[in-house]
Amino acid sequence: MITFLMTIDDLKARNKLEELYKTYHKEMYITAYSILRDHHEAEDVVQNAIIRLSNNLKKISKIKCKKTRSYLVIIVRNLSYNVYNKRKKLYLIEHSEVQRLPDTEEILMEEQLIKASFSLEMDQFLKQLHQPYLDILTLRYYYELEIKEISNLLDITDNNVYVRIHRALTALKEILKKEGVNYEQTL
Partner 1 sequence: MSKLSNEDKEHLKRMNDTFLYNLGYHNSKNANDDVDALLEEYKDIEVPESLNNWFFGYNKEIVRKYRQKKHVSNLLKYSKRIAAMLIIFIIMSSVVIMSVDSFRIRFFNMVVETSQKFTLVSQEENTANGLKYELVSDWSDYYYPAYLPKDYTLADARILNNTKYMTFKNLDDLEIRFTQGGLKSQSQIDSENGEIIELLINGNEGILVIKEDISILYWSNQEKVFYIQGAIDKTTIIRIAESIEKK
Residues in region 135-164 near partner 1 by CB under 8 A = 135, 137-143
Q: How big is the CA angle at 129 (ends 168 and 155), to the nearest 5 degrees?
A: 55
Which helix (H) or strand (E) segment holds residue 25: the answer is helix 2-36
Residues 24, 127: contact at Cβ < 8 Å? no
Non-local CB neighbours of 48 within 8 Å, separated by 6+ positions: 79, 155
Which part of the chain contacts partner 1 (CB under 8 A), choosing from 49-57, 85-93, 94-102, 148-156? 49-57
Looking at 34, 157, 170, 182, which residue binds partner 1 (CB under 8 A)? 34
Residues 23, 64: contact at Cβ < 8 Å? yes
Binding mask 78-117 for partner 1 (x = CB under 8 A): ----------------------------x-xxxx--xx-x
Residue type, 75: I
In terms of CB distance, is 20 or 156 closer to partner 1?
20
Phi-psi region of 170 (alpha: psi -120 to 50; beta: other; left: phi over 0): alpha
Q: Which residues bind partner 1 (CB under 8 A)?
A: 2, 6, 9-10, 13-14, 17-18, 21, 25-27, 29-31, 33-34, 39, 43, 46-47, 50-51, 54, 66-67, 69-71, 73-74, 77, 106, 108-111, 114-115, 117-118, 122-123, 125-126, 134-135, 137-143, 172, 185-187
